[in-house]
Copies of this chain bind each other. A is one copy, B any other.
Amino acid sequence: MAGKRVLAAGKFDILHLGHIAYLEQARELVGDGGELVVVVALDRTVQKERGAPPVFPAEQRRRIVESLKMVDKAVLGYDTTDHTSIVVDIDPDIIALGYDQQTDMDALEKLFSENGMSTKIVRLEKRVADGLCSSTVIRRRIIDYYRENGTPRS
């Protein structure tokens, strides 16, 4: 199989095994000589989607993601809810969507046909990843400890 440029994306705020499982699956689509490019959401985008700012600022999340074995390059997202512009710039062969990731598929399909792009969207399956795989659960765990003990973990 010829190498593919695969695009993955996310917030990656507090790295956990769910992120690792997602990026490992995306990596499997790359093939020889391809590359995995990961888009890391800006703080403003996280704030908009989650209603709260991330724990780690975007550039720190980007550097952590780029330190992972399966990732060739991690870049910051654009300051827009329209995902088409960054897709045009990265021009991936494949967009790897996590099993629970939302995106405007119609807008992307329209973009591809209008621009004669042969990009494919691959929806990854939910892979069993043991343990803490949700940023929400991780934050809650930290807060619960605080509430029960009246003090943070030192």
Contacts and interface: CB of A to CB of B under 8 A. Distances in A.
Interface of A: 14-17, 20, 50-57, 59-60, 63-64, 67-70, 130-132, 135-136, 138-143, 145-146, 149, 152-154
**Total copies of the chain:** 2
B142 A55 contact: yes
A131 B57 contact: yes
A130 B60 contact: yes
B131 A153 contact: no
A152 B13 CA distance: 14
B136 A152 contact: yes
Contact of A20 (B63, B70, B130, B136): B63
B52 A145 contact: yes
A146 B55 CA distance: 12
Contact of A152 (B15, B69, B143, B153): B143
Q: Which of A14, A50, A54, A149 has the most C-beta atoms of chain B within 10 angstroms of its own C-beta?
A: A14
